[in-house]
């Protein structure tokens, strides 16, 4: 018995102090692995959730952009779309202020699917609202919200058409206007120079360079500074001044000159490829670029239907800093035709005055028709030159037309049969029945001046709120926008009843009181100190922006334009030591807005002008 016990004891292993630790280690390892597996699973599930949110977040932005594209496609099909809410468009349904759809602040916003027919719970949708208060300037504010799987994102977008206000300076042709009697004193003007209209004229790069005798080519000269993007369908002529200073282009220059498609890498390369042979310019390290030609509409006839005040025959306006303007439109000029007041759609009707009020010596003082236009059309009056004092002004500041009065329509009956008059006013385009508008002063409001003939700037045109305030001015003329530069000389009669007049010595006297100067309200100084300031956008639909009698009278200082300039033909503002030096700067507000009813490019389309993401409004959520 004992022997068996000993044997059994010998066969059983002896226990060590760490017996059982392996089992604990195995179990612990399994627990750790399980925890890691759970963590990995939890992370995987969480990552999947985040990934899904990221996908929905990106898709919601794409849906919001789809809403913008939906509005743009609609307004490009119908230019009037957007003035009022479209009650049939579910994406527009919601709280939009006063509307004809019956929508109120409690109206549940409507949504449209991004993909037609896909209306499931995870589908992409968009909803938008439209602010058309700036539609007069061709701009719409669209707030578009995208929704995907209860994730919302919203963009605030300005939609508008491109136009000449995209550039500080635009020209179709770099040669002089064939209608400019100073540039082309003898007729006829060659067809290639525009003698039979711009449709038959040639650009420099199309062969105008071979014309003999040459067309009257206009150049930029050293001292000229253009601070903003420049666009020309033609090829620029530019030369240094006597001190070797080149004309300066501080921003991008665009040209339809084919050789500029490969401009090279240096300023000298750019001069060779993008300018005329031998021309020089300082491009401020910004490489010029080629662009296909852009074209302006060629008539201001559309202004006949635009809201605002419409006058007939020669009209004069002086703006004041209080939001008013004083208007003269004589009965003898408008042929007893009252002005037409065209109301804003669903808005107020401007007070444009009566024939008697406009005929008064003091003129008629009225509020500037803000967000509207002042348009001057021809009248049915007799085609004749204006009489002295016929285009009035305050405190004896009538335009200097001469001493010949309306009571002596047949002219002087004795003596030398002569009188004194401004030579510019003897041109047929300045007859008093023509649609010419004379303007100066301090503008408070947003208004576009338009003329079937020309706009003549008789003094500074500055904005009451300064260059960065809320005021905005447009000048649109079918013929030309001219800087007033009267030259008073002896005049003799050439016909009778009513008499026409021609100058004998038109340049014998300089009237130094014109143009009138107005202090810039933001600095209380004359800006520039020597010259003239126009704060606004200028567009001449068929002719030029120029200075009257630009080649006489000595230096007039700096012609400062803060805004934009666009013209069919290059206008001349100075020649030799006479006239003005150009100081043109772009108004950056024009990127987002424009003067009321300002013309856009021919055949232009609406597109996004500005875009930014905002917090989704609570009114955009169901």
pLDDT (tens digit per residue) in 510-553? 667 889 999 999 899 999 999 999 999 999 989 999 999 988 88
Backbone angles phi, psi at 290, to 5 degrees: -80, 145
Q: Of residues 298 and 434, which shows the higher confidence score?
A: 434
Helix, strand or coil, per DSSP, at residue 305 = helix
Q: Say how far residue 181 (Cα) sits from the centre of its chain.
A: 29
Q: What is the pLDDT of residue 8?
A: 44
- Cβ(418)–Cβ(490) below 8 Å: yes
Q: Which residue has the higher pLDDT, 503 or 461?
A: 461
pLDDT at residue 303 is higher than 60? yes
Residues in the chain: 622
Q: Put residue 386 in one of left, alpha, beta given phi > 0 → left and psi -120 to 50 → alpha.
A: beta
The reported pLDDT for the residue numbered 11 is 46
User: For residues 124 and 113, what is the distance between their CA atoms, to the nearest angstrom?
Assistant: 6
Strand order in the sheet with 606-614: 112-113, 124-131, 139-148, 151-161, 606-614
| Residues 6 or more apart whose Cβ sits within 8 Å of residue 508 | 488, 489, 490
The DSSP line for 566-589 is EEEEE---EETTEEEEEEEEE-GG
- The pLDDT value given to residue 413: 42
Reply yes or no on whether the pLDDT at 305 is more than 70.
Answer: yes
**Sequence ranges of the domains in the chain:** 50-161+610-620, 169-290, 297-410+427-488+515-551
Strand partners of residue 489: 421
Residue 367: pLDDT over 90: yes
Of 13-22, 62-71, 122-131, 288-297, the poorest mean pLDDT is in: 13-22
Residue 314 has pLDDT above 80, yes or no: yes
pLDDT digits (tens, 9 = 90+) for 222-279: 999 999 999 999 999 999 999 999 999 999 999 999 999 999 999 999 999 999 999 9
Q: Model confidence at 32, in pLDDT bands (50, 70, 90)?
A: confident
User: What pTM, to 2 d.p., does this model score?
Assistant: 0.80
Q: pLDDT tens across 434-475, in order?
A: 999 999 999 999 999 999 999 999 999 999 999 889 999 999
Model confidence at 582: pLDDT above 80: yes
At residue 27, the pLDDT reads 73
């Amino acid at each position: 018995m004992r022997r068996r016990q000993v044997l059994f004891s010998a066969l059983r292993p002896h226990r060590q102090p760490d017996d059982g630790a392996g089992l604990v280690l195995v179990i612990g390892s399994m627990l750790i692995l399980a925890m890691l597996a759970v963590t990995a699973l939890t992370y995987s599930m969480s990552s999947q959730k985040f990934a899904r949110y990221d996908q929905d977040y990106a898709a919601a932005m794409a849906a919001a952009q789809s809403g913008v594209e939906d509005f743009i496609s609609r307004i490009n099909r119908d230019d009037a779309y957007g003035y009022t809410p479209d009650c049939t468009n579910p994406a527009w349904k919601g709280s939009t202020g006063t509307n004809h759809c019956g929508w109120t602040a409690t109206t549940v916003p409507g949504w449209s699917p991004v993909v037609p027919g896909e209306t499931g719970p995870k589908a992409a949708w968009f909803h938008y609202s439209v602010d058309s208060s700036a539609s007069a300037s061709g701009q719409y504010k669209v707030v578009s919200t995208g929704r995907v799987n209860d994730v919302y994102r919203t963009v605030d977008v300005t939609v508008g058409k491109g136009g000449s206000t995209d550039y500080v300076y635009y020209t179709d042709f770099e040669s002089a206007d064939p209608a400019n009697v100073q540039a082309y004193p003898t007729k006829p003007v060659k067809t290639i120079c525009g003698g039979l209209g711009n449709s038959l004229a040639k650009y420099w790069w199309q062969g105008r360079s071979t014309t003999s005798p040459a067309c009257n080519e206009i150049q930029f000269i050293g001292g000229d500074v253009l601070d903003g993007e420049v666009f020309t369908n033609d090829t620029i002529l530019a030369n240094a001044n006597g001190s070797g200073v080149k004309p300066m282009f501080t921003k991008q220059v665009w040209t339809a000159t084919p050789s500029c498609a490969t401009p090279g890498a240096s300023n000298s390369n750019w001069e060779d490829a993008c300018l005329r042979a031998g021309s020089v310019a300082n491009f401020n390290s910004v490489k010029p670029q080629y662009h296909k030609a852009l074209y302006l509409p060629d008539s201001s006839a559309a202004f006949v239907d635009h809201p605002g005040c419409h006058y007939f025959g020669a009209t004069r306006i002086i703006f004041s800093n209080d939001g008013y303007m004083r208007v003269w439109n004589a009965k003898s000029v408008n042929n007893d035709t009252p002005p037409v007041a065209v109301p804003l759609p669903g808005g107020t009707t401007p007070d444009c005055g009566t024939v008697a009020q406009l005929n008064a010596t003091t003129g008629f003082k009225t509020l500037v028709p803000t967000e509207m236009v002042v348009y001057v059309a021809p009248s049915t009056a007799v085609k004749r030159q204006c009489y002295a004092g016929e285009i009035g002004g305050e405190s004896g500041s009538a335009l200097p037309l001469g001493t010949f009065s309306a009571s002596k329509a047949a002219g002087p009956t004795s003596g030398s049969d002569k009188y004194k008059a401004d030579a510019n006013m003897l041109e047929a385009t300045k007859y008093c029945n023509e649609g010419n508008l004379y303007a100066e002063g301090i503008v408070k409001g947003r208004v576009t001046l338009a003329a079937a003939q020309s706009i003549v700037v008789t003094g500074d045109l500055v904005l009451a709120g300064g260059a960065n305030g809320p005021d905005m001015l447009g000048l649109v003329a079918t013929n030309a926008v001219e800087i007033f530069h009267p030259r008073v000389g002896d005049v003799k009669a050439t016909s009778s009843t009513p008499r026409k007049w021609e100058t004998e010595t038109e340049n014998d006297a300089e009237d130094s009181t014109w143009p009138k100067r107005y202090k810039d309200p933001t600095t209380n100084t004359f800006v520039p100190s020597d010259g003239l300031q126009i704060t606004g956008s200028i567009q001449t639909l068929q002719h030029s922006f120029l200075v009257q009698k630009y080649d006489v009278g000595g230096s007039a200082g700096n012609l400062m334009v803060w805004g934009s300039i666009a013209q069919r033909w290059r206008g001349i503002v100075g020649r030799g030591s006479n006239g003005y030096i150009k100081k043109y700067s772009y108004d950056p507000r024009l990127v987002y807005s424009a003067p009321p009813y300002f013309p856009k490019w021919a055949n232009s389309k609406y597109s996004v002008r500005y875009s930014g993401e905002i917090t989704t409004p609570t009114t955009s959520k169901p």
